[in-house]
Amino acid sequence: MDAITLDNITKTYNKGKVLAVDKATFTVAEGEMFGLIGPDGAGKTSIFRVLTTLLLPDGGSGTVAGFDIVDQYKEIRNCIGYMPGKFSLYQDLSVEENLKFFATIFETTIEENYELIKDIYIQIEPFKTRRAGKLSGGMKQKLALCCALIHKPKVLFLDEPTTGVDAVSRVEFWEMLKRLKHQGITILVSTPYMDEAVLCDRIALIQDGKILSIDSSENTMKKYPGRMYAVHSLNMHKLLKDLRSYPDTLSCFTFGDSMHLTFREDNDGNVTRLNEYLNNIGHTNLEIKEIQAGIEDYFIKISEPAHG
Amino acid sequence: MKQFFAFIRKEFYHVFRDKKTLLMLFGVPIAQVLLFGFVLTNEIKNSKIVVCDYAKDYASQEVIRKIEASRYFNVQKASMSHDQIEAAFRTGEIKMAVIFPADFYSDLSHLNKAQIQVIADASDPNTATTLTSYLSSILNDFQTEMISTGKVPYTIKPEVRMLYNPELLGAPNFVPGVMALVLMLICAMMTSVAIVKEKEMGTMEVLLVSPLKPYLIIIAKTVPYLLISLLNLTAILLMSVYLLDLAIKGSIVLLFAESTLFIISSLALGLLISVRAESQMSAMMTSQMSLMLPTMLLTGFMFPIENMPVAMQVVSYLIPSHYYYVIVKAVMLEGLGFASIWRETLIMAFITLVLVGINIRSFKTRLA
């Protein structure tokens, strides 16, 4: 059975004026870790709110853990865990009080499901008398995850759990998610970070409310048409302008400390010709190498066809 | 039920851990009672007045002695011309001038009536009215004494009676008003802010996506404020009895029952605001503009409703605090029983019912 199904879900705001989700359709298998990848405002949170029964869809249908998201919302609320994007716990309650409170309203106790949260909770336990408002960003998210897990949900919804969290805590957080997956919990997670996308079993790329592609992260990267080159030189600013004005360039974007470049036509002489051209106009320390296109490259490719 | 109590405990944590909330809940009521009780009362003490006595006879001396004995006036005896008196008014040196004509006593004893000129600075009409009424009550006293000693057989006596507040004390009028104001403030404003805070922090989403019934969330959010309001009510009553020497004449049980009804209507108003407000700031502003101001202005404890334009009077009949003010005045100051306030109680109950009904109808089990 699929843990989550969406069939042509549409969600609009302001009486239909703003289209937030446009006929989204996908399924998440039981025990799968599924990622919703897209920039801010793509409609990720709207999908989460529709699935967690907080908002009614304007069209389409869906199920969570086998229950209908409109008619059986009460059943769904009994068996899911949800961590909203802006969730910040009760700042004036201590770590322990927060956890205890959420355990109680989910009709359980910390002891009953301690096994599930143990790995995460032992990291924040030394601070259990500290007020949640005084925790670091990473700690807060760990505590929030504990609160969302305390009642052993079948399906876990995490809306941008690592936004605003430092790099080390982000890695730790995803380690925890992997462990939860091994315990059989279905996880739907959204993130604007492409490097986190590869950690999901499957990902859906979403932009402007539309789902652009659904596949495993490896396949998504393989889908990239043509070859991709990383170009580096001493004067990166000049390089971007020069590459964009180079007649054979199809697209060129700044990506970290290098330029990601594709040619209009892939052939073996491309690199040599470009090297010569750039050398002639004064670039030094030139480095051009072929690379595997990442999810972000693919995302840019399919979301901005105007550049293609 | 365990969930419900855990929720209420959490709510009390919020209240007792936030200094600003605590100050709002307990500091403001006390400050208001003290402010209205000792500083902002309508009562006027030690007003500077000038007395020009051209008679200098037995009667005028007697009246002046009485005026001097009163703690409302700070008497300055002088023979001033009209121009001088006017100059003194202009500089604000005096609030009132009392002038006895030359034949005061002889007029009184022979013609059975005499005149006194009283000039008051009506640029502050409230003070002027109060001062002249103080003075006329002193004159009344004097006349009554004259009658009883048989010195003046016939006197025309003006019928001025200060109902329920013979000493013209300020406190009785404002205590019911402050009660209405404080209860409205705590229930409506604090509840709406507390609920909107959960929305702002994103915790409302998690609470809704929990097995906890949404109506239980709302009730659990309001219960602490109901309890705190009753506590505050007790504090205000204690303060008015022991600090302001204002006895509670009617039944305390009835007073608390009526207050609970008013509290519920205020809580319902607070909930209505919280459903619509998106931020704590807007919840606060809405409560202040739509609840606090009408409560202060239209309940009748600051400005008499009879003197307002008809439109304002109509509005004043729509707000629950108007009826609460009438009820508290009746029970607390006049010692009346339920028989004389059943109409106000019924109207207030009806308004409460309507508000609760609107709340139930606009109640959401989802975010939007």
pLDDT tens, A111-133?
888 888 888 888 888 998 999 98
Q: How confident is the model at residue A306 (pLDDT cuts 50, 70, 90)?
A: very low
Could you read off the pLDDT of B242-251 as tens digits, one per residue?
887 778 888 9
Please give the pLDDT value at position B141: 81
Give chain B's mean pLDDT. 82
List of chain B residues whose C-beta atoms are within 8 Å of the C-beta of residue A97: 10, 13
Q: Can you give the pLDDT at residue B362?
A: 78
> Residue ranges of the domains in chain B?
2-40+169-361, 47-148
The topology (CATH level 3) of A228-292 is: Alpha-Beta Plaits (3.30.70)
pLDDT bracket for residue A305 (50, 70, 90): low
Looking at residues A275-291, what average pLDDT do you find? 85
Mean pLDDT of chain A: 87
B86, B60 contact by CB (below 8 A): no
CB B193 within 8 A of CB B199: no
Instruction: Quote the Cα angle for A51-A56-A58, to 5°.
Output: 110
For the cut 60, the answer to whether the pLDDT of residue A248 exceeds it is yes
pLDDT bin (cut points 50, 70, 90) of residue A226 is confident
Mean pLDDT to the nearest integer, A76-90 = 85
How many whole angstroms separate alpha carbon A215 and alpha carbon A32? Answer: 13
pLDDT at B40 over 60: no
Is B39 within 8 Å of chain A by CB? no
pTM over 0.80: no
Are A52 and B6 in contact (CB < 8 Å)? no
3-class state of residue A304 by DSSP: coil
Contact (CB<8Å) B201/A148: no
Instruction: Please tell me the distance in Å from A215's CA to the nearest CA on chain B.
Output: 29
For residue B92, with 0-12 CB atoms within 10 Å meaning exposed, 13-18 middle and 19 or more buried, which class applies?
A: exposed
Q: Assess contact for B248 and B334: CB atoms under 8 A.
A: no
Q: Give the tens place of pLDDT for each residue, A10-36.
A: 999 988 889 999 999 999 999 999 999
Nearest CA in chain A to B367: A54
pLDDT at position B45 is 67
Question: ipTM of this complex > 0.90?
Answer: no
Residue B349, pLDDT > 60, answer yes
Contact check, Cβ <8 Å, B367/A93? no
Domain at A2-222: CATH architecture: 3-Layer(aba) Sandwich (3.40)
Contact B274, B196 (CB under 8 A): yes
Q: How far is A82 from chain B (nearest CA, A)?
A: 6
Question: Which of A49, A54, A105 minimises the CB distance to B212?
Answer: A105
Return d(Cα A37, Cα A191) in angstroms, integer.
5
Worst-scoring range by mean pLDDT, A19-28, A150-159, B170-179, B201-210?
B170-179
CATH architecture for the domain at B47-148: 3-Layer(aba) Sandwich (3.40)
Give B209 to chain A, closest Cα distance, Å.
5
Residues of chain A positioned with their CB less than 8 A from the CB of B365: 73
Among the residue ranges A156-160, A301-305, B115-119, B207-211, the one predicted with the least confidence is A301-305
Residue spans of the domains in chain A: they are 2-222, 228-292
